[in-house]
Amino acid sequence: MSDSIDADQFTRMGSITKTYYRDVYPAIEPTKSEFSQTGKVTIITGAGKGIGRAIARSHAQSNVKGLVLITLSESSAEETKSIIQAEFPSIEILALPTNIADEKSVARTFEAIKEKFGTADTLINNAGVFAPGAPIVESDGATWWSDFEINVHGTYNVTAAFLRLIGQTPEIKPTVVNLISTIALTPPSLSSYFISKLSVAKMTEFVTAENPNVTAYSLSPGIVLTSMTLDSFKPFAKDSAELTGAVTVYLAAKRPEYLNGRHLSANWDLEELETRQSEFASSDKLKVGQFV
């Protein structure tokens, strides 16, 4: 019996498409003309490293007018700005250190966005934290709740500020993408993180229900090797951060209505999903409580 690990086993189990991907594939290359975002402004939280930085670069590749990089650390925001600006000098970039759990900090950030760009088109809620894991019976309440302060309260603060901003410019077609997790899983000792991300998935549905002009999506990035990746997940962490970046460009550029308010994984074959539009548009599949 082989002791080798099947690095694709969780990706394969969680895929609703016959083909799954772990890196950018031709159909979703951000540089394709059909995904051009000329004149648009994208806001990205957690943009200082890892997946957030990859998302920023993907949107730069799609020729956005402006990027807003929101991070807790000023140095990481400036580092991402320098990297993106060196490759894409024509893009206007705001690097804004922000505590997204603090409403006043978020309000100041959105005042700066309004002053610089007037409005924005796309919000990518990528910022998140992962509290030290423990079974509920052994957990500390303050530590357990800390995931909700950033993952839920922070996402709420930024989303609410974005919706207020775009409400003043009804002619734009705004998109919100919330980064979540593979929320169908129930790994012991990780309750706070997974429950907080489940809450964000439901928040996505409310954004759609309450704002007919907004398309909103919950996106799992798959298993990407980042500073947050637990040792037990590392053998399976073969998804590129660039894959998530490319999928967010696809969603922002195409705004697929059949996925509006729904959950999807960056691993799924978007070409196949497009052929199954009626399946999702006529049902509650891929919504909370209806995950396949």
Give catalytic status of residue 287 as yes or no.
Answer: no
* Nearest CA among 193, 221, 208 for reference residue 284: 208
Set 81, 197, 217, 250: catalytic member = 197
CA-to-CA distance for 217 and 178, rounded, in angstroms?
Answer: 6
Set 20, 21, 193, 250: catalytic member = 193
CA-to-CA distance for 116 and 111, rounded, in angstroms?
Answer: 9
Instruction: Order across the sheet with 262-265: list the strands.
Output: 92-97, 66-71, 41-45, 122-125, 175-179, 215-220, 262-265
For the chain, the helix, strand and coil percentages under 3-state DSSP, each to the nearest 5: 45, 15, 40
* Nearest CA among 208, 196, 115 for reference residue 159: 208
CA-to-CA distance for 248 and 273, rounded, in angstroms?
Answer: 15
E strands in the chain: 41-45, 66-71, 92-97, 122-125, 175-179, 215-220, 262-265
CA-to-CA distance for 263 and 179, rounded, in angstroms?
Answer: 10
Give catalytic status of residue 258 as yes or no.
Answer: no
Task: Give the active site residues.
Answer: 193, 197
